A = this chain, B = another copy of it.
C-alpha cells in the first residue's frame, strides 16, 4: 500500500468537486507517473496561486490583483453591468467573448430553504455600484433556475426606476435539438418566438 504522503494526497484530491476517492487515486497515480511534466508544475503553481489569488474588491471576480483586469480596463467602462451568480459564470461569459462591459458577482442566489438573504450576497454592493458608477444598463445573467429567477426579480425590484434593466433571453441553445430539451426551455422558446 502507499505511504502517508501519498495517502494524504489522495485524501485531499478526493475533496475536489467532480473527483471521488476512486478518481482521486487514479489522478494521483497519473501525477506520480508524470512527475516532471505535471506533478511538480502543479505543486508550484498551486503554491503561487495560494499566495496571490484574490477576489476583485469591485466586482468579485477572482484574479491576482486588488482590482481585476476587467474593472481596471477603461475599455470595459461601457456603462453595461452584467450581474452573474458565480465567478464561473463570469468566466463563461468572457469565453463567449460577446460582452464588452463589466460584471458584478453575487456569490450565489437568494434561497429561503438555505437561509440565504440579500445581505449574504453582494446585492447591497450592487445597489451602491449602480448609484455611484456611470451604469446605463444592468443585465441580469442569472441561471434559469427557480432560485436564480427569484434573485433576478428581487434585484429588479431594488433597482427599478434607477437604471435600464434586462435579462438574457431564454430559448433553444445553438445546435440544440428539441427532443433533448426540457419542457420549460421549449415553453420559454415558444413564448419568446420572433416573427420572421
Contact = CB atoms under 8 A, between A and B. Distances in A.
Contacts of A2: 61-64, 91
A46 B46 contact: yes
Nearest to A69: B1
A17 B18 CA distance: 11
A52 B17 contact: no
Contact of A15 (B9, B38, B69): B38
A180 B23 CA distance: 11
A3 interface: yes
Contacts of A18: 18-19, 23, 26-27
A179 B31 contact: no
A120 interface: no
The A interface is mostly helix, strand or loop, or mixed, namely helix
Interface of A: 1-6, 8-9, 12-13, 15-19, 22-23, 25-32, 35, 38-50, 52-53, 61-65, 68-70, 86-88, 91, 94, 179-180
B49 A39 contact: yes
A179 to B, nearest CB: 7
A42 B35 contact: no
Q: Which of A50, A70, A180 has the most CB of B within 10 A?
A: A50
